[in-house]
Amino acid sequence: MNALIAADSGAADAEAGKRKAETCVACHGPNGNSVSGNFPILAGQTARYLYLQLRDYKEGRRKDPNMTPLAEALSREDMFDLAEYFSRQKPAPLNFKPDPKRVTAGARIAADVLCTMCHLGQMKGQNEIPRLAGQQPDYVLKQLKDFKARTRTNDGGNMTSVTQTLSDEDMLNLTHYIGSLF
């Protein structure tokens, strides 16, 4: 299946994606740079990750009252175009002031649970693994809690498994550590 995605995404049209993304601005901000912790920053994510998330919303593997109905209306071409467009945008710096003590504690937790094995150093992400550096901290915290509560399960079990070992305090510390990265 991964080879099929790679082959199909080669025809993605970022300019068409830009036009299709006009409705995304209300939540995800200009160029995919959300200023609200309720919505993820899409700018700079890999096209592969973005496409897979849209596909998961469309096919019901990931659910959100706002995104699910929007994704259900997208064609495969729309999803590739949108993913290509947002992957080419530059993430904007956050207006977040991480607590230094929480950053230190969060870095230790990230090392203990091996976050960089998937998300890579500085949490830059790769392929279908999201970039966390520069992501809205409140959004990151919500995703950690959703994986732990198993209300988000489109991760192949990796994040669900990792978050079972984390306390609320651990997740808050991780959020400050990730929020310190850009």
The per-residue pLDDT for range 158-171, each reduced to its tens digit, is: 999 999 999 999 99
Q: What pLDDT, on a 0 to 100 scale, did the predictor assign at position 179?
A: 95
CA dist 154 and 147 (Å) reads 9
The whole-angstrom separation of Cα 117 and Cα 10 is: 27
What is the pLDDT at residue 182? 85
Q: For residue 34, give both structure tokens.
A: 């959300």
Q: In which residue ranges of the chain is pLDDT below 50? A: 1
Instruction: Say what the pLDDT of residue 23 is.
Output: 94
What pLDDT does 5 receive? 57
The pLDDT of residue 3: 52
pTM for the model stands at 0.92
Averaged pLDDT score across all residues of the chain: 94
